[in-house]
Amino acid sequence: MEILTASAAELGRAIDARELEPLAVTQAYLDAVAQSPVADGIYARLTRERALEEAGAASKRAAAGDRLGPLDGVPVSWKDLFDTAGVATEAGSRLLAGRVPQDDCEVLRRAGAAGMVCLGKTHMSELAFSGLGINPVTATPPNRYDPDRAPGGSSSGAAASVALDLAPIAIGSDTGGSVRIPAAWNGLVGLKTTHGVISTEGVVPLAGSFDTVGPLCRTVEDAALMFEILSAHRVNLEHPTSLPFARLLVCETTMLEDCEPEPLRGFEQAVARLEDAGAKIERRPIEELVPLAELSPVLYPYEAYQYWAEAIERSPDAMFAPILDRFRSGRSVSATQYELAHHKMMELRQACADKTERFDAVIAPTVPVAPPKVEPLLADPDRFGEVNLMALRNTRLVNMLGCCALTLPTGVDAAGIMFIAGPNREEHLLQLGMAAEMALSL
């Protein structure tokens, strides 16, 4: 088995069969990071000593036949907004330079309790407030397909660590698309979980009512195993959803509008394969998504600026200008405007749920645009803002709907297909994702 390209589940099975030893697996990844010419643009910092200590303990458990679970001894990278005891956690911003938490965040503790090995912290969009993954303040990780293009954000380094074989699995956060965009743009599986299903205790916040935690990985099986660990919810993948019985809705309102050719080609190609495998596809508009999308400029900037205003206004020059501008757009939003927008969002959320309840999932292009070139966006802040909002359009609607979602590769580079299911339906979504993954890989 080639360690660096194996899925997390495959590594776990090889450890269980004593074909691989956890310490050797971790050392292989640490060596790969040390030898990679792009690793400094992916990892903000390694936790080498911790990784070797945790891998050594996992090796002893494996030798004794006393493993803690299927991913015991498997390394994982962490986005740099997950608190790590004694290690800087700076969320891609000079505003948090030198911030060293005393304790691990809850999800890192859960992963450790399952025997997983902490490799290090990955670069990200500044304070997680961009879907592009471009961060001149710290680093912009490379895109798997073209290093001159944006990697997707805000979990940019998380995606790059897996896509470029420097971690078997990564943990990111998703407030408006921050797991799914970089997963789609780097040919990975990404799971956006239901708000509140996985703890955000000890996670640097952006917008508390939308922040979620989820994995970026190579397979749906890996996503399911990681979801189990982080949420303590059991997922049965022994009986994946049968595609001939699956009912899928293509949303023709908003999510398909103004899609660029390659993302649209990838999506339609994937839809055709799902249909060939027996899935029942319907196409219809969901008109409520139009007014829902119009609420995002009120909801997101208001929450983000309310939390970060003091730190931002103390040192505004420390920030990347387009991100600073996006935060400051929340200054003009009043509490009353926010409350009215939130109330309207909940009404539209229920209306959309009523329209889609008979479907197993709504499907859409994960991102309606292909990864843009980085340099032109750095040279044009207005264009940066426009492209950023377009990249976030489809994924952000899912957060506003309160749903869970899964993005899968389509076979077209940097183009993903997103499966959207109702709140707390992760097990169903992952079962469907297993069946879809098999159909799309044929």
What is the reported pTM?
0.98
Tokens of 404: 């869970």
> Is residue 278 in some structural domain?
yes
> Are 346 and 208 in a shared domain?
no
Q: What pLDDT is attached to residue 48?
A: 98
> Are 192 and 282 in a shared domain?
no
Closest CA to 87 of 38, 122, 59: 122
Q: What pLDDT is attached to residue 253?
A: 87
Q: Which of 77, 154, 155, 231 is catalytic?
A: 154
Full domain range(s) for residue 410: 243-287+335-425
Q: Which of 178, 192, 231, 296 is catalytic?
A: 178
> Is residue 354 in some structural domain?
yes
In contact, 340 and 363? CB cutoff 8 Å: no
> Are 156 and 263 in a shared domain?
no
Q: Which of 7, 59, 77, 79 is catalytic?
A: 79
332 is catalytic: no
178 is catalytic: yes
Strands 117-122 and 170-174 come out as unpaired
Q: What pLDDT is attached to residue 442?
A: 78
> Are 205 and 266 in a shared domain?
no
Query: How many Cβ atoms sit within 10 Å of the Cβ of residue 283?
Result: 11
Q: Residue 131: which CATH number?
A: 3.90.1300.10
154 is catalytic: yes
Domain tally, the chain: 2
> Is residue 196 in some structural domain?
yes
Residues of the chain with pLDDT under 70: none
> Are 345 and 377 in a shared domain?
yes
Ramachandran sector of residue 128 (left: φ over 0; alpha: ψ -120 to 50; beta: rest):
left
Inter-axis angle of helices 220-231 and 8-16, nearest 10: 80
> Are 267 and 350 in a shared domain?
yes
Measured between alpha carbons, how far is 311 from 305 in angstroms, rounded to an integer?
10
In order, the DSSP letters of 307-323 are HHHHHHHHSGGGS-HHH
> Are 185 and 145 in a shared domain?
yes
